[in-house]
Structure 1
């Protein structure tokens, strides 16, 4: 599948249901339905989401077993094929050998691009070790017919930051089609674009969509866009057209929710907001992650209402 990476794509939630025994299990039908609903949405200019991210941070990735993850992605691949968009999944491992197995597994269930996170090690790898980790994943991806997207998340605890020099080096590997940069410091994006104007960089934090576009990002991966897809796609349309004032109006309208995308409990917060939006608060609270306090639930609800009211004024609900 040819991937242009000019646009925005949703990192969809993994919907859960209670089994007969009372434990939580993946609700594949509900997850497919919400993914399809997001991909159906159109911006005011007529464009749609340009990809589908499954089993990412917002998709409970770190809590799923390998079997659950592959089953989930196989289910989502049916949706991505129906809407003719690439399916992207994250991959994280302690060693490059373990990463190889993950990439090979993802290729068997319809994943087109693998977002490769830095190695999950306590000790900080050397630049040489980090390069070898990514280079082996890229070679493996080539063998199994998928692409690689190095994922740099320097602001998040537990992720080793990739240096600008390393990212630029990785971008020259044939099977690296884009880079995901999740940071509120968009100067990283600008620095890289100045070094190589042909790079495809996707922003990974909803609060910086407009600023990332100004810095040269070609698109982004969104969590808030799962809840308000019409607004997210329209904002990206304005960004790509250089209509910064119009894009900023939407960014400001979304900001009460976008703020949550940069918090440690982003999955739990935004999943609840999705539940509120679809009148399914109980479903939005079903998670393998942390349980929210009533104060946190009330805060998410208030932030959702504020964003919804602002977007209604802009005719961007839908």
Structure 2
């Protein structure tokens, strides 16, 4: 089993927020300029070792994906593609569908607006598909990606409601597809990462939950996709640098410093929580509250603010508060 890319080894990529603004009519709409500005700001940041984010993830869970129309999503990704090209990093976006045929069309469509790799989530069906059906769903997306000149990243998110878990056997088979550039494993249980790496040390696996960056690295993950890294990019990149160098104690210091806010990345309201924290970080609490998602209660707002402040204070002591 051999994957076809080394570009993402030892890197971390931000799942950027989609910034919104009020139109003249008072409705929320995408603020493309602000979204590009903040994405650029994150990609500019260097870790203590001099490295930067190795990719850009747009229109994901943190990018209001489930609330955007197909037209809005494509326009957003086209805008982010300009940023990704400017910083010479791949643009990644997610896709899911009820049928493999529908998914194949989405993959081809995403390629037309500059997406380099599609994070393919399991089918959106009520009934769990059979192993054969699951593999066929991903295999057809790989074929579509090949025809479009891009790659795919199977996305296993067993902790999230609505997404069927991918078995280790399916993940193993998908790793062998030449169009699969990496696997994204979003779970607090990193044992599946270690299992896959023990079977094939050349597997490329990205962790998708901020709380497990260090443990995922110990298990063999080559990098990660981060939400908290949008708020504290220098800390996120530096932590990955320490993981890459096997400096586990130093990496763990940063992980512990960010733990209060990283916790939010694994919660059902991660979009609303982290977007508000991002707004606070940039002195734009109003902007942070602009979301198509759920409205936070005052208690939730107070909790997020307290978690953000605790992480910021801890990171200040490490010189990583940006």
The TM-score range, normalised by the shorter chain, is over 0.9
C-alpha displacement of 1:2 = 6.4
Q: 1:64-75 maps to which residues of 2 (within 5 A)? A: 64-75=68-79
What corresponds to 1:4 in structure 2?
7
Could you tell me how far apart the structure 2 residues matched to 1:100 and 1:70 are? 16
Pair 1:266 & 2:270 matched: yes
Contact 1:3–1:86 (Cα < 8 Å) also in 2 = no
C-alpha displacement of 1:3 = 5.4
Pair 1:186 & 2:153 matched: no
Could you tell me how far apart the structure 2 residues matched to 1:9 and 1:259 are? 18
Question: Any idea what SS the aligned residue of 1:50 has?
Answer: coil
Size of the alignment, in residue pairs? Answer: 318
Pair 1:218 & 2:222 matched: yes
Could you tell me how far apart the structure 1 residues matched to 2:83 and 2:161 are? 32
What corresponds to 1:162 in structure 2?
166
What corresponds to 2:83 in structure 1?
79
TM-score, with structure 1 as normaliser = 0.99
Question: Any idea what SS the aligned residue of 1:35 has?
Answer: helix
Could you tell me how far apart the structure 1 residues matched to 2:245 and 2:178 are? 29
Question: Any idea what SS the aligned residue of 1:225 has?
Answer: helix
Could you tell me how far apart the structure 1 residues matched to 2:293 and 2:105 are? 25
Pair 1:235 & 2:239 matched: yes
Find the partner of 2:132 among 128, 145, 162.
Answer: 128
**Alpha-carbon deviations, 1:53-86, whole Å to 9, x = none?**
0000000101100000000000000000000000
Contact 1:55–1:69 (Cα < 8 Å) also in 2 = yes
Could you tell me how far apart the structure 2 residues matched to 1:225 and 1:140 are? 31
C-alpha displacement of 1:101 = 1.2
Pair 1:177 & 2:158 matched: no
Pair 1:111 & 2:95 matched: no
What corresponds to 2:144 in structure 1?
140
C-alpha displacement of 1:150 = 0.1
Could you tell me how far apart the structure 1 residues matched to 2:119 and 2:245 are? 27
TM-score, with structure 2 as normaliser = 0.98
What corresponds to 1:102 in structure 2?
106
Could you tell me how far apart the structure 1 residues matched to 2:79 and 2:161 are? 30
Find the partner of 1:277 among 275, 281, 305.
Answer: 281
Moved >3 Å (runs of 4+): none
Contact 1:13–1:58 (Cα < 8 Å) also in 2 = yes
**Alpha-carbon deviations, 1:179-231, whole Å to 9, x = none?**
00000000010000011110000000000000000000000000000000000
Question: Any idea what SS the aligned residue of 2:176 has?
Answer: coil
Could you tell me how far apart the structure 1 residues matched to 2:18 and 2:295 are? 16
